[in-house]
Structure 1
Amino acid sequence: MIILGLDPSLSCTGWGIIRVDGSRLIHIANGQVKTDAKTPLPDRLAYLDTVLTAVIVDHAPTAAAVEEVFVNDNPQSTLKLAHARGVSLLACARGGLTVAEYAPRLVKKAIVGTGSAAKEQVQAMLRILLPGAKVVGADAADALAVAICHANHRRRA
């Protein structure tokens, strides 16, 4: 099974792809889709869609997992995050992928063992779980964590 993990954000959406071979997790690829805050919102969303569609076509995942929206203190930030998340879900659906959704605390718990883990703890565990993977940034690391969370939870289903 090849899993695409997504950490949606309008400024920088992280993506990560792993292959699950029995109990083994194998890193395939990861990246970040950055958009310019000065660019109009529709253009930023279209760019995000174009890149995510290309990732899906290039890597042919069989499932996807997306981090759920958390509510910020700033409603505008939450709306922007929701727009990016909607585009992420749409790209997956158009790619024929079944999408699972996970709360940020559940992702952290699946990787580190506690839902209140710091980003640094998640990244340290990723180095152990995916040895040799070159992770391009924090958002890509979060996306890989979402993919691993799905790998762990789909086994229980």
Structure 2
Amino acid sequence: MTPNPQPTYKGSCLCKAIQYTITGTPLTTVLCHCTNCKKSSGSSFQANLFFKKDCLNFQSGQDKLSTYADAATDSGGIPHRSFCSVCGSNILSTNDSHDLVKDLVIITSGCLDGWPTGEGEKEFRPVQEYYCKRKVEWVRVLGETKEFEGMT
């Protein structure tokens, strides 16, 4: 009996200078309402997919990634936010300062190609929301997510 292969999803920045694949299913899916994720995404929250670091492979443009060490966070951690130096698309974050996420890569769901339609739609649905104390009033609860006032 052959085991089911892990799904592989393609992602890219807006200008397509950076292209990557992510293999497997996310460990968790999160909407983050912290001030820094809002500013980083340019929206009222950021939709994040947490994967093990070895699930991410760049096909092109890794040299176009710029990284910002975000030291002024509510959690006290220092996420390294990586974005395209050409078009500014927020691609991923890592955070070696928190034991819970130091072996993970946090992918922004908006940079996945072909999503939200297709295979990943159900498995990328947020199951948790962080920093709900900073959630804007008009963003409704997404059904069955677990809400947290902070990171945990």
Say which structure, 1 or 2, has more relative contact order (CA 8 Å, 6+ apart): 1
The answer to whether the superposition gives a TM-score over 0.5 is no
Larger strand proportion, structure 1 or 2?
A: 2
TM-score bracket for the superposition, by shorter chain length:
under 0.3
